[in-house]
Structures are given as C-alpha cells and as structure tokens.
Structure 1
Amino acid sequence: MLVSAKTGKGIDDLLTHILFQADLMDLKADPHAKPTGVIIEAKQEVGRGPVATVLVREGTLRVGEAVVCGIAHGKIRAMTNDRGERLNKATPATPVEVIGLSVVPRPGDILEVVKDERTARQIAENRQEQQRLLHLAKTHKPTLEDVYRRIREGDVKELNLVVKADVQGSVEAVVGQLQQIPQDEVTVRVIHTGVGNISENDIMLAAASDAVVIGFNVRPDQQAQIAAEREHVDVRTYQIIYELTEDIERAIKGMLEPVYEENILGRAEVRRLFRTPRGMVIAGCYVSEGKIVRNADVRVRRGNDVVFTGKIASLKHLKDDVREMAQGFECGIVIGDFNDVQEGDVLECFETRRVEP
C-alpha cells in the first residue's frame, strides 16, 4: 500500500484497512475499566502550568480525578478536546488536553487514575527517587570540582562547555576569554553556544557530552533546572566575566574556591493580586510544588524570563502569619521591594548553600 502524508495519497485506504483489521481482531476498549492514557505531547504554558495531550486508552477519564504520570502527579482541573471545548469526561480513543499536573510529563508516559492526590504524590515521589538513584548508579556528570582530580588521575584531557549568554556579543566575549586560558594540561572545548536563558535542550546536550553549562547574564528556566537535577549536570551562572574565567582556570589548576549551590524549595502560581491602603501588593498564590518559606530568597518568573530576585517579606495563610506553606495550599505573599508582580507569574522559592569543593 502506497501512502504519502505530504500529498494525502492512500490515507483513506490506510484508515479503512486499520478499521478492517481492528474489526477482524475484535479490538475493543472497555469504557468501564480503570482509566489509563498515554501522553502524546506536553508543554508548559504561562497561566495554565503543565499542559499534557493525552490519548485515553482504557476507561473513562473524568475531571477531578487524581492521576499519576511518570514523575508527574496531580488532580485533573480541566480537560478540552481538539476544538478547545471543555469536557467533563473522555472515553477511550479520545485525545484531550489535561491541566492539573505538577510538572510537564514526557511523551510516552502512561497516565493512570489513582485513589486520591496523596497516593498520586507518593507514587510520583517514589518514581523520582528511583530515577535519581538509577542515574547516580549509572553515571556521574563532571563538575568543575572534578576536573583537577581527574586530570591528576590521567583520565581527563579536555573540559567540554556549553556557553549561553544574554546577547551574541557576550557569547563572543566569553568564548574569546576562554580561548586565552592556558591549556597545557587540559583543553577547554566549547561544544555549543547560544543566546537566551539556559534551556532543557542545553542541559540534555551537556548530559550527552559530559559538559558543564556556563551562563553569562542568563539563568536556567524552570524546565532546565528540573533537567539539570535529573541529569546531574553542573550549571554555573555569572555576571562578571573575569569570575567566569577565574573559575575555569582554578578548576584546571585545582584551586577552585568554594561554590554556592542553589536548592529550589518550591514554586507558587500567582492567581490574584490585592493592594493594601499603603500601596503594598499582596500576591494571592497557589503552592504548586514543594513549599514556600518566609524570609527565603524568591525569584519572580514571567514566562521564561526572571523579572526580579529578592526576599519573601511576608507569608500569610488566610489572616495568619505563617513560617512556611506546603504544596496544595493557597497563601498570600509579599515580596520585599517589589510591587510589579502580575497574575500568571511563578514565584520560585530557593535557598543558597555554601558547598566546599
């Protein structure tokens, strides 16, 4: 059978043949079975969060059900069909967009309905821990601290770098400075350069190439941070070029100074804004991941851009001051020295810890 997706030739015959074979093989899906589906594609959308296109395989998928999908979990908040119409349920062979997952799942992941959100979270966390242990067992990606040790052991001859910067001129300046570093013992090789925030693709390239990711005046976006943690890729960001080159030189010479490691505590979605009589803006938020901690560092993300970094000055649940707020709860957040927060922003709560090389 000759088929062309470009011209459409043979498509009708192919579909007829598939339906005929399905009838002969008595292929049927049970709408009353335990609901399952497969992820066709998934993405992160501003204001909507993780959005997954799911093809229902068995059972009937309903809004409000708790689900787990790979390392993602959540409660189905909304479903839409291919025409953008809202659905309350989806039967077998129906493709739908699902909103409500904690993170963006991978295409091919199986979506399953479970008893409740707590069960879904436990399953997802167990899977994430298993993946982390598996990666640790299989591979250890290089960090700058590893370089000197591996040079002395004789098993490293070059340091691979992925370089990202805010503008092309910065990229060229960084690469130019790196090329001037004395490379008697080890070669510094820039395998990729680019303009803009560090993306998930940059992380995956670094993971495949045993490279360290260098960012100049840019930061990793949310998906890149998740991928870096998952793939154990070392990501370094700088705002002063000589600090960047000094780190590389010290790594090669075995004199790298202690570094500061960033640990993401949690993320919250801004859903409503409130203004006090004094003009202070309170962000009404939903904690979508981890926890939010008062007085912790916070980064305001608008799409893939970081618009402000500061401190959480106030954290309230209803009218009560609280020290922290866990995933799944709503809270009011005041960010110190920043009133330009907008609905749809993501507040990323983090801490910075000093790590000895």
Structure 2
Amino acid sequence: MSEERKEAPVRASLPQGGKIVELPAAVSVRQLSQAIRQNPIEVIKQLMRNGLMANINEVIDYEAAAKIAADFGIEVRPQAIRSAASRRKKPEHEETKHLPLRPPVVTIMGHVDHGKTRLLDAIRQTHVMESEAGGITQHIGAYQVEVKGQKITFLDTPGHEAFTAMRARGARATDITVLVVAADDGIMPQTLEAIDHARAAGVPIIVAINKIDKPGANADRVKQQLADHGLVVEDWGGDTIAVGTSAKERLGIDDLLENILLVAEMEDLHADPTLPGTGVVIEAEMDKSRGAMATVLVQNGSLKVGDIVVVGETFGKVKAMFNDQGKHLRKAEPATPVVIMGLPVVPGVGDTLASVDSERQARQILSEKKAVKKPVSVSLASLHEQIASGKVKELNIILKTDVQGSIEPIRTSLEKLATDKLTVHIIHSGTGNVTENDVMLAIASHGLVIGFSTGVESGATRLADQEKIDIRRYDIIYNLIEDVDKALKGLIEPEIVEVIEGRAEVRAVFPAGKKAKVAGVYVTEGKAARGARVRVQRGKDTLAESPIVSLRRFKDDVREIAAGFEGGVGLETFNEFQPGDVLEFLRKEKSA
C-alpha cells in the first residue's frame, strides 16, 4: 500500500442559525466526513445505501456529496460558481487538479437505424490502438482509441437502456454522450429518449449528424429539430457541438474525435491511479471454459491481477485480465475497460466493483450491504412528508400518454405546480405503454411514472413492484393534475392501486352450460387465485373485467393455480373467450 496522501481541508461554515457547508465540485470521502463532522465509516455506509461503493480516499462529485450531506440533515452549497464568460470551462478543483488526467468515457446513443454501430466501427477501424503480436481482437463491450496521443474510451452498449441501467444501480459510467442523428431522417422517438436519458444523467451531449453523404441529407432540418428540443448548436448561437459525419465514407470522424477531446478538456477529468481500483460492470457472461467473465470499466485507482474485489453481491480474486485486443494485462488504470476472470458468479450490468484488502473485509462489506435497506422511492402518497423532511427537492416525472397531443397540456399544467420548496421536472415524455425502460429511468432519477390513457407492460409492472416505483394511471387530465397538487400540499389520500398477481393465456374454450363458456388457460406468471378479479385483454384492447365464478384443475375446484400449470377459468360477466386472449388476475390494495 502506498503512503496516504495529505489532503487539503474543505472550507466549511457552520453558523449557529443553521448548518451550511461549502463543498467543491469534487471531494474525497475523508474530506466530506471532516466537513460535515461525521464518522467516515458512517459516511461510507450512507454511500453504500445510495448504491455507491467508495473507500475513504476516493473522490466523489458534488452531487453525490450533497446527497450524503442531506441524509445527515446538513445543507450544502457549491464552493465555486462557473462564470458566464467560461460557460464550458470548469473551475480547477483544488482536490483533483494535481492528479493525472484520465481518458474520457463516451457512450454513443440515438435511433436504431441512424448508424450508431457503423460509426463505432469506423472509429475503431481508423483509430484503434495497435495490439502486440498474437493479440486477438475481441468484442468486450468497450474499447479505447488513440487520437493525437490521447486516449478515448468508448462504451459499445446497446444504447440508453444499458446506460440508464448502470445509473439505476448508482454507477455514473459515462462522461460524454454522442447523439447520432441521421441527416436524411431527422429526430425520431428513440432520439428523444436518448436526449432525455443523457440530460437526466447531467452528461454533456455532442451531436453527430450522420449520413451527410446521402442524397436526402438535410443537416439544417436536423439542427432545427434539435433546437426545438432544447439543443441549440454552436453555429446557431448555442452551446451544443454538432459535427457532420458519414460512417460509410469515413467523413467527419477526426473532427468528432477532436471535439470529444475538447469537451473532455473542459470537463477536467482526473483520477488517482495510486488508489485501490474501483469500477462498474459493463457486460457479463458465463463462458463454458473460463467461467464467469465480466467486462469492467475501471473508474478510479488501479485494478491488478491478484486483487480481491467485491462486485455487486459477490466477491472473488482477479485471476486474469484482458483488453479488447486480447492482450493480457497485469494492471488497468482509470478509464480502462478490461475483461476479468475469477468471479464465482456472473454479476449484473451496472454492479459496482471495489478492490479490498482481504476476503474477510469483502465478506464484511457484503454483510453490511445486505443489512442496508434501500432508500425510499418517491411516491405521491409520501411526497409531502418527503418534501417537509428535506429528502426531496425536485419531483422527476416520466410521462407516457396515448397520443402526442396530450403531452404538452399535461407537461405545462404539472410544471405550474412547482413551489419554492420543490421543482417539477418532466424528464421524459412519450406515447405508448409504460415500459421497463421508463421504470429504469424512474429508478435512476428517483422519480415516478405517470401514464395517461395508456397501459403498463408486464415487465414494467414487475420491475416497478420490485423497486418500489410509483406508477400512476389516469384517464382524465383534471384528476391527474389534482392528485399531484394534493400530493404537494399533503392532502392526498392513500391510493387504491391494482396489483397484478398473475397472468394466463387462453389456449382453448369449452362450453359450460347453455350459454356459459370456460377458458382453458395456461398460467404464464404469478398465480391465478379464486378471490381475484380478472381483466380480459385481447391485443391492446381490454374487453372486460369480472369476478371469477369457477377455477378448476381438471375436475377439481381449486383456490389457485400456479405459474406453469393449466386450468379452467369461468367469469361472472364475460364468456366470449378466444384462444390467445390474456387474463390478468388483479387485487386491490392501498399504496404505501
């Protein structure tokens, strides 16, 4: 272990009339503990409760530090404010400016057909660093390129879903987002999702206007669409960098990379390679011959072969490390993506990694993590209490509607409800059913989901129940606005919510008397219980909702049928079943 660095004290002011601490843009856990006058162990535990694994010497950003201070009932404010004359240039941080610069980590996002993969391939083929003789190029979900002697790390993820999955687990894995928009197609719904996800993460956005070589390309139309959604490009007087590219013809690639380095310089990215390694899992799989393999982005410190690491809910010893060129590595420094061997099980995407001194320490950390309760999610029922206690200062909402025309009036009405104690942000809006991705964004942003005249996909319901995310559904705008207004004022009553206990698919229809019919079903998830109400779904349409009059397994009446079994279901007010119909088994309960 290297000798511990001496750190400059953080300037703190604790007047008698209240607790206010000034914090810099980056601060170590030790300095934060001193500034807010708390035991470092308690601060580390609180970081863990918020999904962040950090040791006493690790540097965290202001946002994370402010959240921890708020958990201890201490108000903070930034130590320095960015001047208008240097809108991009960040002030130098006394705590980090002496540390080495690290490469920026970049994620490319955008609509599925706009050329993200081809652009990544063009960058990789042009600028990928040379491997040693015998190295085999392999896909590991992340890689580094070199531009004019400087490295850039790219995360080759499936898009904003993985990006937000990592945020939802408490890992900020990206420094810069490159938004790819096809010049011949313009902004699409998936483009808007990517913009909202990047904004929610507070990540700088560079726009690559791709396919500029195509006959129907119209870069000015794309710039206008970007401006309509709050991204005004530089040549229109804004501060968003936009670069024309063609992945096919290799046009604009160098210009894009140089602008990434420019933004990285303004972001002033530092890390300390002398610390124990910490990072985040980008990809993971079980290899038949090598066991659990995890692609890890090292974020701070250095990860070495032989290190004992805690990853998610498990720990192991790093037996071997490889880069994307197949080269064996002994050590990986900050912003380096590597594949590691040695974990007993496959970790989850977004799980944090931390090097520890011993297996005993690893077991202790895991036992503490299991004992820690998850932070309470934001819900309308508890919103006023959370505002009063200072736990919530902004209400982040993901809004899904049936038609585009409903979004703007709902957005405007909700944003008008903001008070001096709480701001209301619609961080993402769109049409269609509530999806798992919407719930994932709510988890990452500590928000809630509102659906207007739209449904909720089964995967979204399961994830929301698991993560305690509040999903509210309305068919009348007035009721929606009134509920949020009441929640802000502490007047809302506990909502009676639907809980879907199970789903079944109709496989056959049988007669059961003169007019009655029984659905022969296969329970696909959860259970079919006699006391439930049943909603009959055919495609996107709801046909009926009815109590159960009969529930059978073969000839026997039963109280419930578990997932994976067949049975017969008869309803009180509906019998026009068709094969392929889906039955949802519901119960009502008061929301928390």
TM-score by length of 2: 0.37
Asked if structure 2 preserves the Cα contact closer than 8 Å seen for 1:295 and 1:313, the reply is no
Aligned with 2:527 (options 291, 294, 304): 291
Per the alignment, residue 123 of structure 1 pairs with none
Per the alignment, residue 288 of structure 2 pairs with 57
* CA distance in 2 between partners of 1:180 and 1:341 (Å): 46
Give 3-state SS (helix, strand or coil) of 1:154's partner: coil
Q: What per-residue deviation string (whole Å, max 9, x for no partner) do you get for residues 31-77 of structure 1?
A: xxxxxxxxx9xxxxxxxxxxxxx99837xxxxxxxxxxxxxxxxxxx
Aligned with 2:413 (options 177, 181, 196): 177
* CA distance in 2 between partners of 1:341 and 1:139 (Å): 44
Relative distance call for 1:313 and 1:241 in structure 2 (3 A) is farther
Aligned with 1:237 (options 464, 473, 493): 473
Shift of residue 250, structure 1, vs aligned partner: 1.2
Q: Moved runs in structure 1, 4+ residues, more than 6 A? A: none
Shift of residue 196, structure 1, vs aligned partner: 1.2
* CA distance in 1 between partners of 2:458 and 2:468 (Å): 15
- Structure 2 residue 391 is matched with structure 1 residue 160: no
Paired residues for 1:272-283 under 5 Å: 272-276=508-512, 278-283=514-519
* CA distance in 2 between partners of 1:352 and 1:162 (Å): 24
Paired residues for 1:1-357 under 5 Å: 57=288, 137-181=373-417, 183-276=419-512, 278-302=514-538, 306-355=542-591
Shift of residue 134, structure 1, vs aligned partner: 5.5
Give 3-state SS (helix, strand or coil) of 1:341's partner: coil
Per the alignment, residue 264 of structure 2 pairs with none
Asked if structure 2 preserves the Cα contact closer than 8 Å seen for 1:313 and 1:336, the reply is yes
Q: What per-residue deviation string (whole Å, max 9, x for no partner) do you get for residues 240-275 of structure 1?
A: 222211111111111111211333322222222223
* CA distance in 2 between partners of 1:135 and 1:212 (Å): 26
Asked if structure 1 preserves the Cα contact closer than 8 Å seen for 2:503 and 2:582, the reply is yes
* CA distance in 1 between partners of 2:492 and 2:508 (Å): 45
Shift of residue 277, structure 1, vs aligned partner: 5.2
Asked if structure 1 preserves the Cα contact closer than 8 Å seen for 2:501 and 2:528, the reply is yes
Asked if structure 2 preserves the Cα contact closer than 8 Å seen for 1:221 and 1:304, the reply is no
Asked if structure 2 preserves the Cα contact closer than 8 Å seen for 1:270 and 1:285, the reply is yes
Give 3-state SS (helix, strand or coil) of 2:478's partner: helix
* CA distance in 1 between partners of 2:135 and 2:421 (Å): 61
Give the aligned length.
251
Q: What per-residue deviation string (whole Å, max 9, x for no partner) do you get for residues 143-180 of structure 1?
A: 11332112222343221111111112222332232234
Asked if structure 1 preserves the Cα contact closer than 8 Å seen for 2:506 and 2:580, the reply is yes
* CA distance in 1 between partners of 2:527 and 2:578 (Å): 20
Give 3-state SS (helix, strand or coil) of 1:145's partner: coil
Relative distance call for 1:200 and 1:340 in structure 2 (3 A) is farther
Aligned letter for 2:288? R
* CA distance in 2 between partners of 1:170 and 1:307 (Å): 24
Shift of residue 292, structure 1, vs aligned partner: 1.1
Aligned letter for 1:57? K
Stretches of structure 1 that go unaligned for 5 or more consecutive residues are: 10-16, 22-39, 41-53, 59-105, 109-129
Shift of residue 223, structure 1, vs aligned partner: 0.6
Q: What per-residue deviation string (whole Å, max 9, x for no partner) do you get for residues 190-239 of structure 1?
A: 11111111111110111111111111112211010011122221111112
Aligned letter for 2:584? E
Relative distance call for 1:310 and 1:195 in structure 2 (3 A) is farther
Q: What per-residue deviation string (whole Å, max 9, x for no partner) do you get for residues 84-121 of structure 1?
A: xxxxxxxxxxxxxxxxxxxxxx998xxxxxxxxxxxxx
* CA distance in 1 between partners of 2:527 and 2:575 (Å): 22
* CA distance in 2 between partners of 1:174 and 1:338 (Å): 35
Q: Structure with the greater relative contact order (CA < 8 A, sep ≥ 6): 1 or 2?
A: 1
* CA distance in 1 between partners of 2:494 and 2:455 (Å): 20
Shift of residue 305, structure 1, vs aligned partner: 5.5
Give 3-state SS (helix, strand or coil) of 2:373's partner: helix
TM-score by length of 1: 0.59
Relative distance call for 1:136 and 1:287 in structure 2 (3 A) is farther
Asked if structure 1 preserves the Cα contact closer than 8 Å seen for 2:504 and 2:582, the reply is yes
Relative distance call for 1:135 and 1:275 in structure 2 (3 A) is farther
Shift of residue 349, structure 1, vs aligned partner: 0.9
Give 3-state SS (helix, strand or coil) of 2:382's partner: helix
Per the alignment, residue 117 of structure 1 pairs with none
Asked if structure 2 preserves the Cα contact closer than 8 Å seen for 1:294 and 1:312, the reply is yes
Per the alignment, residue 193 of structure 2 pairs with none
Shift of residue 302, structure 1, vs aligned partner: 4.1
Asked if structure 2 preserves the Cα contact closer than 8 Å seen for 1:200 and 1:224, the reply is yes
Greater CA radius of gyration, 1 or 2?
A: 2
**Sequence identity percentage:** 42
Shift of residue 139, structure 1, vs aligned partner: 2.9
Structure 1 stretch 177-186 or stretch 160-169: which is displaced more? 177-186
What CA RMSD, in Å, does the superposition of the two structures yield over aligned residues?
A: 3.9
Relative distance call for 1:202 and 1:305 in structure 2 (3 A) is farther
Relative distance call for 1:296 and 1:138 in structure 2 (3 A) is closer
Asked if structure 2 preserves the Cα contact closer than 8 Å seen for 1:301 and 1:307, the reply is yes
Asked if structure 2 preserves the Cα contact closer than 8 Å seen for 1:197 and 1:304, the reply is no
Shift of residue 324, structure 1, vs aligned partner: 2.1
Asked if structure 2 preserves the Cα contact closer than 8 Å seen for 1:267 and 1:346, the reply is yes
Relative distance call for 1:311 and 1:160 in structure 2 (3 A) is same
